Chain A
Amino acid sequence: MDKVIAKSSIIENWKYTNSSQFKTFKNIFSFKTVEKRIIPKSNEIIIYNGQLINCGDYIFRNNIKIYNINEAICQEINQIQDKIDQFSSFKNDKYVEENLKNYNTGYYIYFPKNLTLKDKIIIKNIIEQGNETEYINLRILIDCDENSKITILNEEKFLNKKCINIVNQCLINKNSSLEIINKSNKPDTKQIYNFFSIINYNSKLKYHTIDINSNLIKNNYFINLNGQGSTCLFNGLNISKNREHFDNYIEINHNHSKTISNLNYKIIADHKSRSTFFAKSIINEECSESQAYQKNNNLILSDKAKINANPQLEIYNDDVQCSHGSATGQIDEEAIFYLRSRGIKLDLAKQLILNSIINEVIEEIQNIEVQKNLKETLDTYMSS
């Protein structure tokens, strides 16, 4: 019986994307080994064509450990198998199953107890090899031990046409706080991305994701608030242009009392692009005094662009606070006229309004340096 439910819900999160578009995800690409030296900055972890090639000094000094997942399991490091088993409560689709079978490409990153990092950690994932007909599996398991406070900037750089199947898992132990910022540059990539997170007692996940400039993207995010007082802030921006197709499914499960989730998502769709925001915040029975909020604002810039917005709240406890709202519209003509009547040209007026939407998302990120960098990237992207 359980199996049937799980299966139907898998189909549901794929309801806005025809999986036949991923028909090339059959044969796994095998990397050719090439010697490559990239000197990392002190706070960088560099993964190049699926292989960890270097880490900076700051990583070593803070005792952050990185293992090949396969080796970590063999050597029974940090009871990793128990930790991996915790993720078996999530329902996996065939792409996740495929990925998890392929341990060779994955890394396990361990942040020790009581570690408070002033500087962010950058995971630089660069892929140069690969092609349109074979796909690449990538996997990272992040483990924040008790009492840690960490910021990770995930920088993906996938050059040329690629098919990528990513599984990222993230375990946040008691009293910890993890902020993740996803920044990617992957023109022409077809990607399936699955993110799973388990958040324990009194811990917090802040997750920011900015998706631009790809071909076809299916993102699935599953977040479990498992411990009392655990919280999650999910902050996303999706800008699609040309014929791009971006589909985002976000599921937040409240599995304990006093849990809080806050989901903000914005889409800007131009030309003939398609973008989807499909979210479920589920507050289960035993979760009194919990809060779940969803906010979704979308902007359509062309008649031919399409946005699907489907925010859902499923609530099985009455002692909770919830709200959700979703609005999709065009650029406010009254606002454009107002700006133009002050001498601002049409293009600049539009850009001011788009930037205002973008900035709202970016300003949620704590790190000012990252904010600045993202604003510049998006400024260039929007005016291109």
Chain B
Amino acid sequence: MLKIKNLTAGVDDKNILNNINLNINSGEFHVIMGTNGTGKSTLGNILAGKDNYNVHSGDIVYKDKSIINLSPDERAHEGIFMSFQYPVSIPGVNTMHFLRTAVNSIRKSKKQDEIEPGDFIKLFKEKLELIGLKSEFSKRSVNDGFSGGEKKRFEIIQMLLLNPDLIILDETDSGLDIDAIRIVSNGINAFRNKNKSFILITHYNRILNYLKPDFIHVMLNGTIVKSGGRELAVELEEKGYEWIK
């Protein structure tokens, strides 16, 4: 599904990521852990195609095609989705209108008809309920005045509605209360299948107990220094990052 090859990248001319190699097959669940400021979110932004985040060398191949020249919306059309570490609030843009526009944009790119407004309302409210947000959220502005946890829940609702194939979850668990971690994890697990791949960025082991990932990678100074199975996360939680350095 995703092959990151010798990727050196950063913001403008500055290198933040150095020579990253990562292979993610369909259906796999990968986790990236690492110290603050080490480049985890930068990798997310590079994959999502943010302006000024540039690939300096190497390549990103997704579904057998290089994506480094695609715009963020084109990547979304191809099935890439990032749950933001810090979702921005957009006052005045209604959540329902935003998401219906997003869903229809993706459908249009696949030459599908627009979704019936009535059907969408039903679907949206269903997902709100599943992830534990009140239906009033359909009347609010995108992330505007949302609490930290509400923002993270809303990211997952978007994932469920847009139905992507490659999902980057940037610290989705930060800011969630203990119950919310369970609810959100259940939502993610129900959404998983053999055609969907995940990259979860996290600092904590707790959510991994629910998500049971296949691989753990440690990123330090913009490069992946160690990879392993579930046990690596447990070890990191006990010992910190010093021993790897």
Contact = CB atoms under 8 A, between A and B. Distances in A.
B87 interface: yes
A339 B90 contact: yes
Interface string A7-38: 00000000000000000000000000000000
Chain A's interface: helix, strand, loop or mixed, by majority?
helix
B72 interface: yes
B202 to A, nearest CB: 20
Interface in B28-78: 48-51, 71-73, 75-77
A335 B98 CA distance: 12
Interface string B116-155: 0000000000000000000000000110000000000000
Interface string A327-356: 000001111011111111110110011011
B92 A359 contact: yes
A356 B92 contact: yes
Given A341-B72, A342-B102, A353 B158 contact: no
Given A348-B101, A356-B141, A341 B92 contact: no
B92 A360 contact: yes
Contacts of B98: 339, 342, 352
Nearest to B73: A340
A348 B101 CA distance: 9
A343 B77 contact: yes
Given A340-B76, A352-B93, A345 B88 contact: no
B207 interface: no
A357 B76 CA distance: 26
B105 interface: yes
Contacts of A332: 88, 90
Interface string B142-180: 100000000000000010001000000000000000000
Contacts of A339: 90, 93, 98, 102
A237 to B, nearest CB: 13
Contacts of B92: 353, 355-357, 359-360
Given A340-B72, A340-B76, A356 B91 contact: yes
A20 B73 CA distance: 48
B84 interface: yes
B105 A345 contact: yes
A338 B51 contact: no
Interface residues of A, number: 23
B87 A343 contact: no
A352 B162 CA distance: 18
B88 A344 contact: no
B181 interface: no
A346 B88 contact: no
A344 B84 CA distance: 16
B76 A343 contact: yes
B97 to A, nearest CB: 8
A337 B106 contact: no
Interface in B82-113: 82, 84, 87-88, 90-93, 97-99, 101-102, 105-106, 109
B210 to A, nearest CB: 25
Give the most central of B93, B142, B162: most A CB within 10 Å: B93
B76 A342 contact: yes
Contacts of A356: 90-93, 141
Interface string A351-384: 0110111011000000000000000000000000
A116 B75 CA distance: 56
Given A333-B51, A343-B76, A353-B93, A338 B102 contact: no
Contact of B106 (A334, A335, A343, A357): A343
A345 B73 contact: yes
A158 to B, nearest CB: 31
B161 to A, nearest CB: 9
A171 to B, nearest CB: 35
Nearest to B78: A343
A341 B53 CA distance: 14
Contacts of A337: 48, 50-51, 72
A341 B82 contact: yes
Contacts of A340: 71-73, 76
Nearest to B164: A343
Given A337-B51, A348-B105, A342 B162 contact: yes
Given A346-B71, A346-B73, A338 B101 contact: no
Nearest to B87: A338
Contacts of A348: 101, 105
Given A352-B97, A353-B92, 18 more contacts: A332-B88, A335-B90, A338-B90, A340-B71, A340-B73, A341-B73, A341-B75, A342-B99, A342-B105, A343-B73, A343-B102, A346-B71, A346-B73, A348-B105, A352-B90, A352-B93, A355-B92, A356-B91
Interface of A: 332-335, 337-346, 348-349, 352-353, 355-357, 359-360
Interface of B: 48-51, 71-73, 75-77, 81-82, 84, 87-88, 90-93, 97-99, 101-102, 105-106, 109, 141-142, 158, 162
25 contacts: A332-B88, A335-B88, A335-B90, A337-B48, A337-B51, A337-B72, A339-B93, A339-B98, A339-B102, A340-B71, A340-B73, A340-B76, A341-B76, A341-B81, A341-B82, A342-B81, A343-B77, A344-B105, A345-B105, A346-B73, A353-B90, A356-B91, A356-B93, A356-B141, A360-B91
Question: 5 closest Cβ contacts across the A-B interface?
Answer: A356-B92, A343-B76, A342-B102, A340-B72, A343-B105
